Structure 1
């Protein structure tokens, strides 16, 4: 894997997507204003045409920005609870290196990889009731950063693979991906508020109010949906970047590559057991999917193409192909789950 080139590509794509996201917000603001201008012109044409009220443009733009920025502030304020509080909320407990060889190995690996990444060690936590191979990292700053690993990862991964998993999650902390994703989620929520505001206007008794609400709702829906697509695209690029950083820091394709190939095996087994991906969501992820969707190492795939466009993670096969330079088969899960040394 040419990890330096992969990192440059991911960063470059992220910059373009963020520019597109900013243009999307501006386009929504402009669309609401021009939509209301058109609604006013069409609505008053039968009455001989009325001039636009004083401050018409300022009110339209001001209220629209207030909804976007207000929604962004409300959503990010709720998500700003911190990595450690989030870990407690999803049932993670602090790792106990003195009571478990697997957790001792995990803490050692986190300390080693933090030296390689030149990061302050985050708090290490374990999702002891989750058997799926997964992990996430969260935190707005170094003092609040955590890395959470599932029990399934502790039992099913070799030391080399655990290094790859930890390196991937540390990349998210190093690059500030948690903060970036939260900011984008807040902006998307703000765009959704425009749609909701228009919908509430359409439910009023006044025909004139319903007419204006239809234009606001349409602009808000297009903006919200475009924001969802761009947010998911940014998240996928950050996953590619974290994959490349993991290979760089570990100097091993089989580290993170082995993790992803074992996840492929777990998915195959779950599909055989449940018969569909949708029935497998909770058993595969084992976590609050909405809260941690963009933070997880892997996410459960969807059945439809539209849902794939809104996926916050690239397909497993694509990630494995980028790491190895070719398609690779899934790896069998070990029968003996005792960790392979410290």
Structure 2
């Protein structure tokens, strides 16, 4: 089973959760209706004497108006509470991290451990074909833990505790981050974040019951006179009993929800451990990371009051004692990797003490980390470039702007440029420079647009960035632009909107949009302003979107050749591969990239495909592009832009 099939399995699990959720809500509403009926029955018996007439109780229980009222109020409370929680989490992973008091890491941080964390995440993101998530640190948490959250890869966030930064070395940190990336790739995040809203909705029933229990005794103290108190005593007792029943019903509902949460989480955690080892090819690092957690006095404990809401998201259990554990025991996870481990953490504790003694990192160690990072990035980019068409056909890659270099210039990137990209001003200049034309007349117009919006100070930076970007091939240029995008994601939405508006102005400076400009702009938009609502849309069958899929394939076919027959053959190569899932497609002779709105709409509609259908579609796009046995820079950008827009998580061109 590949990552796309796992994503689809996770979405099916989400459907099962919805069914269970609806079932729970119905049972909760029925139980509360039973409590209301019992309250009214006992109240009527108090007035007439306790004859305990079953027919009277039955009349209350089957009363359609009372039934409608009980169910309506219960459904409304749960729906409003769930909607409220989902609204608070509407920004995706960042909202979850901030709710736990986490701090977002500045891309330009000078802290050695924070920089290493950013480097590791960037390396795994590039290697796995996933957009680099936003990065947070829980500064007040000495326990060793981490989590990934979000609705989609474009709004994902990874947070680690201070304890994890303190005790893990680079390889162990890679193993844990690889584990969290597998949750992104496997589609677990969307399921996990939905569980937060579901459990909160059910929890509110229990909270309301406890409020009734606490408020009921106060009703007697507010009554005046002995006679008034005596007359109210029976009512207060009934209200107290009703509140206790509601609290009990809600608590049982939460308990059942926790059981389901634990069952799903334990299964996904085992898969994530295996996926991390697949990422890093280093099982010892994962085993050592788990040993450190087992040896640590704090373990994986997270003290934040909201930790219980996301207990199923953490790398390991966030509580020292838990009735229904959301994770397999640490020892069990270690022994599944290292069967010889006997549970003795003595050597690990000694290692942790040694690491604590080396708190201050020397300058040469910082430089060593930078060299490791640049080397890892360069190797990945070269590997991606060499495998564009597979190792046997790598020479068919033909960049429109530059030829494929023998070695990546990224390790030799000027430190001044690197530092600029990690600051918001330099990152802004980088994205603007990526769309600056080489044609002087258009370039002059674009420079004027930038000068009007950002002033003269940024022009020199743009000229410098433009010169640097023109020395890179497509994979390298994409990496640099993604680094700039990651820097800019921490900006307020207003500043991001202004930047995107200026990028659009640069694209339309010559009154037309070419494929490269469209692909770049789409990439920047999907990363800087992810559409969370569209990511949560209902999945549609491939056959319903066959017309949109055919249109996109037809436009791609036009890029490779001006010859109509060759374009049709290229389209056919992609369309034929989709017949089993999308059905027979019709060749649209009128399809052309000039109809930008139509093309954009088709792409956005394809977001609603299932993960496996998305994988099949992007592979069909690749078949169209590689029909002529070569990939241009524009085609490279365009394929990745399509993958970004329709959220094909984990797809890489060379695989």
> Shorter-chain TM-score category?
0.7 to 0.9
Q: Does the residue aligned with 1:148 lie in a helix, a strand or coil? A: strand
Q: Does the residue aligned with 1:124 lie in a helix, a strand or coil? A: strand
Q: Does the residue aligned with 1:62 lie in a helix, a strand or coil? A: helix
Task: Quote how far apart the aligned CAs of 1:324 are.
Answer: 3.4
- Please state if 1:139 is matched with 2:169: no
- 210-219 vs 141-150, which moves further: 210-219
Task: Quote how far apart the aligned CAs of 1:182 are.
Answer: 3.4
* Superposition map of 1:195-214 within 5 A: 195-200=206-211, 203=216, 205=232, 206=235, 209-210=239-240, 212-214=242-244
Task: Quote how far apart the aligned CAs of 1:36 are.
Answer: 3.9
Instruction: Check 1:327–1:35 CA distance in 2 against 1; reply closer, same or farther (3 A cut).
Output: farther
Task: Quote how far apart the aligned CAs of 1:57 are.
Answer: 1.8
Name the residue aligned to 2:81.
Answer: 71
Name the residue aligned to 2:286.
Answer: 256
Name the residue aligned to 1:245.
Answer: 275
Name the residue aligned to 1:308.
Answer: 323
1:296 equivalent among 314, 326, 343: 314
Cα pair 1:68 1:190 within 8 Å, conserved: yes
Instruction: Check 1:196–1:326 CA distance in 2 against 1; reply closer, same or farther (3 A cut).
Output: same
Q: Aligned partners of 1:98 and 1:198: how far apart in 2?
A: 48
1:228 equivalent among 253, 258, 279: 258
Q: Aligned partners of 2:280 and 2:189: how far apart in 1?
A: 22
The higher radius of gyration belongs to: 2
Task: Quote how far apart the aligned CAs of 1:21 are.
Answer: 4.9
Instruction: Check 1:200–1:142 CA distance in 2 against 1; reply closer, same or farther (3 A cut).
Output: same
TM-align CA RMSD: 3.9
Task: Quote how far apart the aligned CAs of 1:131 are.
Answer: 5.2
Name the residue aligned to 1:275.
Answer: none
Task: Quote how far apart the aligned CAs of 1:167 are.
Answer: 0.7
Cα pair 1:39 1:215 within 8 Å, conserved: no
Structure having greater relative contact order (Cα 8 Å, sep ≥ 6) = 1
Cα pair 1:92 1:128 within 8 Å, conserved: yes
Instruction: Check 1:32–1:130 CA distance in 2 against 1; reply closer, same or farther (3 A cut).
Output: closer
Task: Quote how far apart the aligned CAs of 1:260 are.
Answer: 0.7
Name the residue aligned to 2:295.
Answer: 265
Instruction: Check 1:26–1:246 CA distance in 2 against 1; reply closer, same or farther (3 A cut).
Output: farther
Q: Aligned partners of 1:133 and 1:159: how far apart in 2?
A: 15
Instruction: Check 1:212–1:293 CA distance in 2 against 1; reply closer, same or farther (3 A cut).
Output: closer
TM-score w.r.t. the length of structure 1 is 0.74
1:257-276, CA deviations, whole angstroms, 9 ceiling, x for partnerless residues? 2111111122xxx2xxxxxx
1:223-278, CA deviations, whole angstroms, 9 ceiling, x for partnerless residues? 22222333333333332232222122223321222111111122xxx2xxxxxxxx
TM-score w.r.t. the length of structure 2 is 0.42
1:87-141, CA deviations, whole angstroms, 9 ceiling, x for partnerless residues? 4562424255673554444333222322343211112344566554332323333
Cα pair 1:69 1:190 within 8 Å, conserved: yes
Name the residue aligned to 2:332.
Answer: 318
2:160 equivalent among 128, 132, 149: 149
Q: Aligned partners of 1:150 and 1:198: how far apart in 2?
A: 35
Task: Quote how far apart the aligned CAs of 1:62 are.
Answer: 1.5
Name the residue aligned to 2:118.
Answer: 107
Q: Aligned partners of 2:248 and 2:109: how far apart in 1?
A: 58
Q: 5+ unaligned residues in a row in structure 2: which ranges? A: 46-50, 220-231, 373-655
Q: 5+ unaligned residues in a row in structure 1: which ranges? A: 271-279
Q: Does the residue aligned with 2:323 lie in a helix, a strand or coil? A: helix
Name the residue aligned to 2:33.
Answer: 33
Name the residue aligned to 2:248.
Answer: 218
Q: Aligned partners of 2:244 and 2:166: how far apart in 1?
A: 54
Task: Quote how far apart the aligned CAs of 1:63 are.
Answer: 1.5
- 242-251 vs 79-88, which moves further: 79-88
Q: Aligned partners of 2:276 and 2:84: how far apart in 1?
A: 34
Cα pair 1:133 1:153 within 8 Å, conserved: yes
Task: Quote how far apart the aligned CAs of 1:191 are.
Answer: 2.2
Q: Does the residue aligned with 1:308 lie in a helix, a strand or coil? A: coil
Q: Aligned partners of 2:320 and 2:142: how far apart in 1?
A: 21
- 221-230 vs 79-88, which moves further: 79-88
- 162-171 vs 80-89, which moves further: 80-89
1:55 equivalent among 56, 65, 74: 65
